[in-house]
């Protein structure tokens, strides 16, 4: 298995220590890592799921807008950040592997490494509790 880029390795190591839920995806949108805080919201453990391909990601974690309408993956903040190479923010509902629907806010930004290498994106999200 090829070694991850250094910026991605450092991002994971930072994410492991943060209480904020974090997703890290590669330039194809494949989920490389999510931290322990994200496990609570997603209802699954990274140690069990491991990396998840972009196709499977959309099937496993269903997302809807505040009206309950399914959100196209291209409209998700993470994918918008990937495509535009700009930060993106949004509010949505997500159904995790435990079947529970949660209201979350997401801020995503691209990982642009040394020498302008595009290496994927990071999404930071948190549950919105009323």
Positions touching other proteins (CB under 8 A) are 1-7, 9-10, 12-14, 16-17, 113-115
Nearer to other proteins, 22 or 79 (CB): 22
Which residues 6+ apart lie within 8 Å of 70 measured at CB? Answer: 62, 63, 64
Q: How far is the CB of 1 from other proteins (least distance, A)?
A: 4
Which residues 6+ apart lie within 8 Å of 82 measured at CB? Answer: 25, 27, 29, 108, 110, 120, 121
Q: How far is the CB of 7 from other proteins (least distance, A)?
A: 8
Nearer to other proteins, 104 or 122 (CB): 122
Nearer to other proteins, 17 or 59 (CB): 17
With the CA atoms of 10, 80, 56 and 11 taken in that order, what torsion angle do they form, in degrees rounded to the nearest 10? 10
Q: How far is the CB of 21 from other proteins (least distance, A)?
A: 18
């Amino acid at each position: 298995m090829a070694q991850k880029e250094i910026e991605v390795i450092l991002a994971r190591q930072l994410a492991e220590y943060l209480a904020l839920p974090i997703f890290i995806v590669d330039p194809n949108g494949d989920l490389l890592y999510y931290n322990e805080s994200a496990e609570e919201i997603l209802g699954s453990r990274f140690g069990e799921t491991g990396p998840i391909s972009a196709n499977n990601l959309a099937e496993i974690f269903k997302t809807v807008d505040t009206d309950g309408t399914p959100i196209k993956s291209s409209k998700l903040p993470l994918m918008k950040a990937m495509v535009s190479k700009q930060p993106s923010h949004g509010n949505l509902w997500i159904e995790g592997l435990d079947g529970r629907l949660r209201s979350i806010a997401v801020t995503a930004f691209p990982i642009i490494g040394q020498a302008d290498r595009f290496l994927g994106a990071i999404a930071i999200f948190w549950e919105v509790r009323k």
